[in-house]
């Protein structure tokens, strides 16, 4: 039975333009979305990304620039979309939390949770990190009393009247979810989530007073309050999914998130959904962080690189390949421009590009009719190459493809078709090699979509003609 799949990335704060630290998650989710479209049809797959535009962080960023908040988030959202488009991300919708449909859905969601008895009025006194847009306990701060993720920001002390969500009520449900086989991946992330539950989940404020923070969705039960940014932002997935028939029991819902926001997705979001009686996510995949040459990427360090800057220099598929194969799929990774260039020359220029060029040249010179080829039809062996997508290990899928490519290159070197005089033998050897490059090309789509199309254009006809140089050496 064909299944439906909803795939999401975290939506990025609109306080500043995204950098390469944000790029990995988009490319990872995109590869999975393209794979799902191959096996289940594009009509059964939805993929949403976007920008998180409410909250203190975005309002302060606008004030710092001396412009209206709406104008600021419009500008950042537009730039973020361009950065994501530069990576050839095939989203179905770029959602913004300032979109009118989302504001309505978020307000309705809040009201339903309130009507079900899970939101109540109370007073909050405690700590808040504006960088995370989240409430903190003392155990979540470092020895200097700072948020471990935002050490340059001062922790805020708040005392205010809010509405609270009965998060603690769902502790048992959440523990069962976390312990289930595929709810949180990789498995190593379960321990951290269980620790948070076992330390005692506390009810959480889900509104802020409007006089302190006017930039947000007005609370539907009290117009003196706005909905807390995390409660608002998480609902974006449901906004898109529910409006596209992708939030039901027939749909697999997969969230890709970074480890810094895993708690909100693994523990708060399912509790919110349970509160209103909606389907829970199927899987939340938590990836690590990218560091650049041993340092955290940040403006203060001066090491911010935009995705488009890499794409303009190395090409979109080279950037996609590098992050998909060497990104933080399980743990944090350290990247560098030098490593990217080494990978480009070694695995793309000398690897895929050179092998494709060699076979195309040999096939063209031979004058042999290799028959037309259908790149859209997949055999069981083709699909088997994608097996590790089941565990979202895109890096291992690519590794296996490159092993297949390496074997093909070895076959060329051992058989030396350029030396073969016997036409029957030459046809036998080249037919195998052309067939192998065609089969490899079929499964490149989720990872290198542009390159796949270029190779298809060379090898889809009976008589093969050499195409462009796929990856010119640097």
Give the separation between CA 343 and CA 131, rounded to whole angstroms: 34
Can you give the pLDDT at residue 382?
A: 86
Q: Which of 26, 103, 136, 147 is flagged as catalytic?
A: 147
Report the interhelical angle of 423-442 vs 354-366 (nearest 10°).
140
If we measure between CA atoms, which residue out of 446, 433, 429 comes closest to residue 385? 446
Q: Which of 4, 19, 26, 189 is flagged as catalytic?
A: 19
If we measure between CA atoms, which residue out of 54, 36, 55 comes closest to residue 46? 36
Q: Which of 26, 81, 103, 132 is flagged as catalytic?
A: 132
Question: Do residues 155 and 136 touch, judged by C-beta distance below 8 A?
Answer: yes
Segment holding 13, helix H or strand E: strand 12-13
- Backbone angles phi and psi of 136, in degrees to 5: -125, 150
SS3 248: coil
Q: Is the pLDDT of residue 150 over 60?
A: no
Q: Is the pLDDT of residue 131 over 90?
A: no
SS3 90: coil
Can you give the pLDDT at residue 434?
A: 97
Domain residue ranges in the chain: 4-287, 336-459
Q: Is the pLDDT of residue 46 over 70?
A: yes
Can you give the pLDDT at residue 114?
A: 98
CATH class of the domain defined by 4-287: alpha beta
Can you give the pLDDT at residue 395?
A: 97
Structure tokens at 193: 């989530």
The dotted CATH code for 336-459 is 1.10.730.10
Give the separation between CA 336 and CA 292, rounded to whole angstroms: 6
Give the separation between CA 332 and CA 21, rounded to whole angstroms: 11
Question: Do residues 80 and 17 touch, judged by C-beta distance below 8 A?
Answer: yes
Residue 126's beta-bridge partner residues? 158
DSSP state of 281: P
22 is catalytic: yes
DSSP state of 223: T
Structure tokens at 3: 């299944």
Q: Is the pLDDT of residue 314 over 90?
A: yes
Give the separation between CA 291 and CA 20, rounded to whole angstroms: 10
Q: Which of 3, 299, 301, 465 is flagged as catalytic?
A: 299
Can you give the pLDDT at residue 160?
A: 85
Q: What share of the chain is helix, strand, coil (3-state, %, to 5)?
A: 50, 15, 30
The residue behind tokens 């405690």 is 126
Give the distance, in angstroms, between the CA of residue 167 and the centroid of all CA atoms in the same chain. Answer: 27
Segments in 305-393 forming alpha helices (H):
307-314, 316-326, 337-343, 354-366, 380-384
Q: What band does 144 get if pLDDT is binned at 50, 70 and 90?
A: low
Give the separation between CA 271 and CA 168, rounded to whole angstroms: 9
Can you give the pLDDT at residue 134?
A: 61
Residue 291's beta-bridge partner residues? 296, 334
19 is catalytic: yes
Q: What is the mean pLDDT of the chain?
A: 93
Classify residue 110 as exposed, middle or buried by CB count within 10 Å of its CB (0-12, 13-18, 19+).
buried
Give the separation between CA 288 and CA 163, rounded to whole angstroms: 33
Give the separation between CA 385 and CA 381, rounded to whole angstroms: 7
Can you give the pLDDT at residue 123?
A: 84
What does the pLDDT look like over 417-450, one tens digit per residue? 999 999 999 999 999 999 999 999 999 999 999 9
Q: Which of 129, 219, 287, 306 is flagged as catalytic?
A: 129
- Backbone angles phi and psi of 133, in degrees to 5: 55, 45
The span from the first CA to the last CA of the chain, in angstroms, equals 47
Give the distance, in angstroms, between the CA of residue 266 and the centroid of all CA atoms in the same chain. Answer: 16
Rounded average pLDDT over 411-422: 96
Q: Is the pLDDT of residue 85 over 60?
A: yes
147 is catalytic: yes
Give the separation between CA 330 and CA 134, rounded to whole angstroms: 25
What does the pLDDT look like over 214-265, one tens digit per residue? 999 999 999 999 999 999 999 999 999 999 999 999 999 999 999 999 999 9
What does the pLDDT look like over 101-130, one tens digit per residue? 999 999 999 999 999 999 999 987 666 666
Q: Is the pLDDT of residue 287 over 80?
A: yes
Instruction: Name every residue whose Cβ is closer than 8 Å to that of residue 340 and which is 6 or more positions away in sequence.
Output: 310, 314, 318, 319, 322
Structure tokens at 1: 């039975």
150 is catalytic: yes
Instruction: Name every residue whose Cβ is closer than 8 Å to that of residue 135 and which is 6 or more positions away in sequence.
Output: 124, 126, 127, 128, 204, 205
DSSP state of 348: I
Give the separation between CA 362 and CA 132, rounded to whole angstroms: 57
132 is catalytic: yes
- Tell me the pairing of strands 4-9 and 93-96: unpaired
Q: Is the pLDDT of residue 155 over 90?
A: no
Segment holding 12, helix H or strand E: strand 12-13
Can you give the pLDDT at residue 59?
A: 87
**What percentage of the chain has pLDDT greater than the value 90?**
84
Instruction: Please give the full DSSP string across 154-221, using - where no structure is assigned.
Output: PPEEEEEEEEEE--GGGHHHHHHHHHSSSSEESGGGHHHHHHHHHTT---EE-EEETTT--SSPBPTT
What does the pLDDT look like over 198-216, one tens digit per residue? 999 999 999 999 998 899 9
Instruction: Please give the full DSSP string across 125-159, using - where no structure is assigned.
Output: EEEEETTTTEEE-GGGB-TTS-BTTBTTSPPEEEE
């Amino acid at each position: 039975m064909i299944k439906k799949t909803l795939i999401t990335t975290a939506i990025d704060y609109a306080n500043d333009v995204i950098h390469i630290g944000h790029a990995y998650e988009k490319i990872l989710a995109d590869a999975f979305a393209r794979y799902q479209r191959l096996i289940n049809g594009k009509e059964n797959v939805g993929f949403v990304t976007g920008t998180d535009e409410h909250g203190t962080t975005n309002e302060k960023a606008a004030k710092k620039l001396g412009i209206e908040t709406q104008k600021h988030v419009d500008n950042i959202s537009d730039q973020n979309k361009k950065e994501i488009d530069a990576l050839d991300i095939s989203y179905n919708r770029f959602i913004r939390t300032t979109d009118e449909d989302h504001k309505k859905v978020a307000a309705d969601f809040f009201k339903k949770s309130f009507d079900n008895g899970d939101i109540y009025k109370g007073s909050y006194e405690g700590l808040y990190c504006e960088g995370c847009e989240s409430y903190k306990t003392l155990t979540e701060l470092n020895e200097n009393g700072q948020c471990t993720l935002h050490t340059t920001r001062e922790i805020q002390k708040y005392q205010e009247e809010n509405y609270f969500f009965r998060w603690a009520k769902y502790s048992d449900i959440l523990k069962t979810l976390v312990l289930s086989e595929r709810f949180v991946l990789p498995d190593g992330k379960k321990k951290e989530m269980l620790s948070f539950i076992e330390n005692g989940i506390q009810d959480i404020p889900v509104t802020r007073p409007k006089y302190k923070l006017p930039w947000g969705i007005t609370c539907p039960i009290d117009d003196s309050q706005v909905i807390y940014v995390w409660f608002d932002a998480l609902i974006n997935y449901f906004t898109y999914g529910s409006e596209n028939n992708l939030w039901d029991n027939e749909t697999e819902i997969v969230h890709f998130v970074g480890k810094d926001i895993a708690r909100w997705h693994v523990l708060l979001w399912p509790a919110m959904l349970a509160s209103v009686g909606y389907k829970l996510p199927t899987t939340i995949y938590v990836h690590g962080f990218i560091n650049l040459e041993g340092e955290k990427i940040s403006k203060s360090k001066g090491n911010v690189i935009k995705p488009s800057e890499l794409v303009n220099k190395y090409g979109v598929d080279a950037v996609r390949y590098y992050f998909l194969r060497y990104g933080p799929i399980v743990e944090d990774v350290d990247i560098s421009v030098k490593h990217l260039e080494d990978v480009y020359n070694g695995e793309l220029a000398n690897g895929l590009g050179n092998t494709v060029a060699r076979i195309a040249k040999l096939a063209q010179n031979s004058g042999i009719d290799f028959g037309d080829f259908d790149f859209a039809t997949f055999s069981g062996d083709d699909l088997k190459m994608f097996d590790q997508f089941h565990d979202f290990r895109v890096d291992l899928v690519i590794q296996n493809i490159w092993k297949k490519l390496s074997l093909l290159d070895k076959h060329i070197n051992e058989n030396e078709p350029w030396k073969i005089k016997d036409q029957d033998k030459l046809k036998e050897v080249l037919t195998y090699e052309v067939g192998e490059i065609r089969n490899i090309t079929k499964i490149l789509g989720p990872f290198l979509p542009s390159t796949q199309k270029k190779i298809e254009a060379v090898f889809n006809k009976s008589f093969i003609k050499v195409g462009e140089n796929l990856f010119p050496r640097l």
